[in-house]
């Protein structure tokens, strides 16, 4: 299926999520999906090849967190092909959403995405997370790359300001024991997500520094 033919499915999914998007934002999301499909053939950005499956498991999965994520400066750590960072940057054009990954093929792709769809506020960072020292700390750190919340907090604590929020995207409902962390946290909350078209559990774990 051609990516452009998925536009009605995208619009229906946005409606199901209660999200309002301008025609320009919808075009940006479709353009990103088309770039992801095109570059995936050479760069192996994702194991998913079918555009409709990409729409549901990547784009809609990322858009499902939009109603919850807060802060003016957000960083997506281990962003890979730009998920959830690119959809967040499109939906939050007034915010700075930076994208960090240590894989040079993936960051080269993201540089192209930024140029083609106009993500003017986003910075593409080809860095190892432990090596990146931002001049200004972030309000939010988001990722769906970390297997455990403990690892996410350990490796990204230096990026987040006090009172900032970690957002961990999870495929199943599971509270992790954060009591033994060296990183001090105030609270944690598990948010159940409903991803249009996806018959599987999705969770967003919110942890405040």
pLDDT, tens digit (0-9, with 9 covering 90-100), for 134-150: 999 999 999 998 888 88
**Are the CB atoms for 209 and 160 separated by under 8 Å?**
yes
SS3 assignment, position 186: coil
**152, 178 Cβ separation under 8 angstroms:** no
What CATH number should be reported for the domain holding residue 114?
A: 3.40.50.150
What was the pLDDT predicted at 186? 83
Domain that holds residue 203: 3-208
3 or 152, higher pLDDT: 152
pLDDT > 70: what percent of the chain? 95
Give the chain's domain count. 1
Nearest one of 144, 5, 127 to 88, comparing CA atoms: 144
Instruction: Give the pLDDT confidence score for residue 175 in this predicted structure.
Output: 58
What is the average per-residue pLDDT within 151-170? 95
**Residue 164, pLDDT above cutoff 80:** yes
Q: Angle, to 10 degrees, between the axis of helix 7-16 and the axis of helix 23-43? A: 120
DSSP reduced 3-state for 175: coil
Q: Which pLDDT score, from 0 to 100, does residue 148 have?
A: 85
The label of the residue with tokens 């025609």 reads 23
Q: Average pLDDT in the 189-193 region?
A: 92
**For 115-144, what is the mean pLDDT?**
97
* pLDDT beyond 80 at 18: yes
pLDDT at 1 over 60: no
Q: Residue 114: pLDDT above 90?
A: yes
Q: What is the mean pLDDT of the chain?
A: 92
Q: pLDDT band at residue 173, thresholds of 50, 70 and 90?
A: low
202-208 and 187-193 as β-strands: parallel, antiparallel, unpaired? Answer: antiparallel
SS3 at position 178: coil
Residue 3 burial (10 A CB sphere; 0-12, 13-18, 19+): buried
What would the pLDDT profile of 40-57 be if each residue is shown by its tens digit?
888 878 888 888 999 999
Residue 23, pLDDT > 80, answer yes
**Distance of alpha carbon 187 from alpha carbon 192, whole angstroms:** 17
């Amino acid at each position: 299926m051609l990516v452009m033919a998925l536009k009605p499915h995208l619009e229906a999914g946005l409606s199901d999520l209660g999200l309002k998007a301008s025609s320009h934002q919808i075009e940006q999301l479709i353009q990103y999906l088309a770039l992801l499909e095109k570059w995936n053939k050479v760069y192996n950005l994702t194991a998913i090849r079918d555009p409709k499956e990409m729409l549901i498991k990547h784009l809609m999965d990322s858009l499902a967190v939009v109603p919850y994520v807060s802060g003016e400066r957000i960083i997506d750590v281990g962003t890979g092909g730009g998920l959830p960072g690119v959809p967040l940057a499109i939906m939050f054009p007034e915010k700075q959403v930076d994208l960090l990954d240590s894989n040079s093929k993936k960051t080269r792709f993201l540089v192209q995405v930024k140029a083609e769809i106009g993500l003017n506020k986003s910075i593409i960072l080809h860095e190892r997370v432990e090596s990146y020292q931002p001049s200004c700390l972030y309000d939010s750190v988001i990722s769906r790359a970390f297997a455990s919340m403990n690892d996410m907090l350990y490796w990204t604590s230096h990026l987040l300001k006090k009172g900032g929020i970690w957002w961990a995207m999870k495929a199943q409902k599971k509270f992790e024991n954060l009591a033994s962390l060296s990183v001090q946290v105030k609270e944690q909350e598990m948010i159940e997500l409903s991803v249009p078209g996806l018959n599987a559990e999705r969770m967003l774990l919110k942890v405040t520094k």
